[in-house]
Amino acid sequence: MSIFLKNLEIKNFRGIGKRIVKMEKFEKINLFIGENNSGKSTVLIFISNYLKEIQKNTGLNFDPSQNLDLSMEDTNSPIEFSSNMSIELYQAGLDIINKEKRNKVMSFFDDILLNNESILKLNVKINEKGNLEKEILDKNGELINFINMKYYHDCLGDIAGALSVSLSNTSTPSTIWREVIDDYFRLFKSSLQPIKIIPTLRYIDEVGNPFDDYSGKGLIECLAGLDRPDIKNSNDRLKFRKIENFLRDVISNLNATIEIPTNKSAIIVEINGKRLPLENLGTGISEVIMIATFCTLSENEIICIEEPETHLHPILQKKLINYLNKKTSNQYFISTHSASFIDTPDAAIFHVYLENNQTMIKEAILNSDKYNICHQLGYKASDILQANSVVWVEGPSELIYLRYWIECVDSSLVEGIHYSVMFYGGRLLSHLSGDGEEQDDSEEEDVQRFIQLPSLNRNSLIVMDSDKKSDDDKINNTKKRIKKEFEINGGYVWITQGREIENYLNYPDIQEALKANHPRIYDGQDKDGQYDHAFYFKRKPKSGKIEDSIEEKADKVSIAKWIVDNHKQSFTKLDLNDRIYGVVNFIRKANGLEEIEIKPPTGD
């Protein structure tokens, strides 16, 4: 996974004031969505200007003549940022530490700072003179201070010996501590990959300019070099082919080719025997090919992209983000005000907004968070729900399985382009689960609103657990109502033949996944039946007890990821084979594609 910058906290930078803005988990694709002038480019500017300088320069200070981006509300406070780094990353970077002191420093981090697999936080302040002040915070965000702490004296003494630094008493370990902080800072720098930015204004200019940034200057000559590389750079031809294949997907023509003429005057696209300059295909096509080219040229880098949706139709936006996600190796930080990116699979979505004239950033995790973003941007619900097909699932684990099963049967279907996934959750789950409790008026209203959704998009599909405890058990009334409404509106309804979706998995694979994800407490299988809870397992006895007990709270998402990552799938269980082909053909029909033939189930 291309995740080089894991998290970030920023304070006193541009529109961000004294209230710390926390982004606790970055993914490969990170989207910063907000209204104009909300500060959605703030993080990109910080990464592309400040982290880039830290990553590439050996010096530890910034040039104050460059007008540092201090907070607009308090120019006297230093810019401050923090980022976490785990012990694994520290070990990976030990080669930059002097071999003679490596073991002592490593022991210090292992035994004292990082016991119990905790994580430390590097905190850096940049004042108005460009000077850097570095600190290390503990897992609670508190400054680690070794002054007058007898507990650390012996370990610090060992490190002092390794560093050839004298340690006279417990009140003066600052020199040794400074060495440790500097090592930690250098390791943070080494963990960052090269950083580039694709600006808002992009254009393909005339021949002759050097290709030294990602604005479009020199792009024609760069592509010419990829098309006809010398022997030492023969792999560049593969990059050219990737760009060409992306063009074919964008314009829906499998025979299209790209060529650069001898005079390098334009990028020529040949379609069915006709040769046209790229810009003749439309500004949107030219724009999306340009961005895809930049991101293909970069490998294992951090790329910041400002407003990639400019001139792009929503379908082109989705195709671009899918290409970046599936076909490139970079980590992306993207500022946008387009809702078309909001359902990007596995992306981290951050809502950027103003609160008391300060830029605030909050991760959008729940559907309600994403809805609020769309509402603030001026989108209507119908704008979002008019995807070619909308698939409703209960939660993240169901999404992981369904996405994987669809790809196994028809890898040409792409989430975010051919279908979008929505979660039904919250109080509605209790009505779908068959708990037998009566509904109050507000709960009935929730169900009533939900069953109206297929009328907004007739290509709606829903997957529901049956929750049956035996073969004689009945589907509850709420599920029956939903099934009826979806089918009346032309939708597809899948109610599991077993108790829940996990009953479609091979039971030995479930046990292997449970043991791998819960090694400390897993002690054996429970029951393997069509209507049993497939994820219940026997746990090891707790201290003081003789008999083991049944564990009912396995991490379903981690198990689902393990099953998928290890390709543990068979379509032989229950009616899974027929169901997944039904889902695939429903989505294909919604996209105007021909149905595919149902093949016999494969697997153990």
Calculate ∠ Cα 153-157-158, nearest 5°: 125
Sign of CA dihedral 149, 154, 155, 157: positive
Scan for tokens 């089918």, then name that residue.
487
- Count of residues for the chain? 604
CB atoms within 10 A of CB 143: 10
Highest average pLDDT, of 316-325, 374-383, 576-585, comes from 576-585
So what's the pLDDT on residue 481? Answer: 84
Query: What is the average per-residue pLDDT within 172-197?
Result: 72
CB atoms within 10 A of CB 480: 12
- CA-wise closest residue to 364 among 380, 381, 387, 341: 341
CB atoms within 10 A of CB 542: 10
pLDDT band at 202 (very low <50, low <70, confident <90, very high): confident
Q: Provide the terminal-to-terminal Cα distance of the chain, rounded to the nearest Å.
A: 29
pLDDT band at 29 (very low <50, low <70, confident <90, very high): very high
Query: What is the average per-residue pLDDT within 590-595?
Result: 85
So what's the pLDDT on residue 368? Answer: 62
Does residue 130 sit in helix, strand or coil?
coil
554-590 CB burial, b ≥16 within 10 A, e <16: bebeebbbbbbeeebbebebeebbebbbbbbbbbbeb
- How far is the C-alpha of 401 from the C-alpha of 570, rounded, in Å? 12
- How far is the C-alpha of 140 from the C-alpha of 346, rounded, in Å? 28
- CA-wise closest residue to 392 among 358, 350, 440, 343: 343
User: Residues 341, 40: contact at Cβ < 8 Å?
Assistant: no
**pLDDT surpasses 90 at 35:** no
So what's the pLDDT on residue 370? Answer: 67
Strand partners, 332: 29, 303
pLDDT band at 165 (very low <50, low <70, confident <90, very high): very low
Report CA-CA distances (Å) from 357 to 36, 37, 38, 72, 568: 13, 10, 9, 10, 51
Scan for tokens 């390791």, then name that residue.
187
Q: What percent of the chain has pLDDT over 90?
A: 16
What is the four-CA torsion angle of 303, 308, 314, 320, rounded to 10 degrees? -40
288-323 CB burial, b ≥16 within 10 A, e <16: bbbbbbbbbbbeebbbbbbbbbbebeeebbbbbbbb
**pLDDT surpasses 50 at 168:** no
DSSP state at residue 548: -
Sign of CA dihedral 196, 198, 199, 204: positive
User: Residues 210, 217: contact at Cβ < 8 Å?
Assistant: yes
The model's pLDDT over 483-527, given as tens digits with 9 standing for 90+, comes to 888 888 788 999 999 999 999 998 888 898 888 888 888 888 888
- CA-wise closest residue to 328 among 305, 296, 302: 296
- Token pair in block for residue 339: 């809702």
The model's pLDDT over 366-406, given as tens digits with 9 standing for 90+, comes to 666 666 776 666 665 545 555 678 888 888 888 899 999 99
The model's pLDDT over 541-573, given as tens digits with 9 standing for 90+, comes to 776 566 668 888 888 888 889 888 888 777 888
So what's the pLDDT on residue 402? Answer: 92
Domains and CATH numbers, the chain: 8-191 (no CATH), 195-378 (3.40.50.300), 385-503+571-590 (3.40.50), 506-565 (no CATH)
**pLDDT surpasses 70 at 8:** yes
Mean pLDDT score of the chain, rounded to an integer? 78
Helix crossing, 396-409 with 556-565: angle to 10°? 20
Look up residue 89 and give its amino acid.
Answer: L
Backbone angles phi, psi at 17, to 5 degrees: -100, -140
What element of type H or E holds 153?
helix 153-162
- How far is the C-alpha of 147 from the C-alpha of 298, rounded, in Å? 46
Higher-pLDDT residue of 447 and 44 is 44
- How far is the C-alpha of 163 from the C-alpha of 393, rounded, in Å? 57
Model confidence, pTM: 0.66
Highest average pLDDT, of 242-256, 308-322, 493-507, comes from 493-507
- Token pair in block for residue 157: 């003494």
Listed range (38-42, 67-71, 280-284, 430-434) with the worst mean pLDDT: 430-434
The model's pLDDT over 56-103, given as tens digits with 9 standing for 90+, comes to 776 667 776 677 888 877 778 899 998 876 544 444 444 444 555 555
**How far is C-alpha 176 from the geometric centre of its chain's CA atoms?**
38
- How far is the C-alpha of 208 from the C-alpha of 212, rounded, in Å? 12
DSSP state at residue 601: P
Backbone angles phi, psi at 207, to 5 degrees: -65, 150
570 torsion bin: left (phi>0), alpha (psi -120 to 50), beta (else): beta
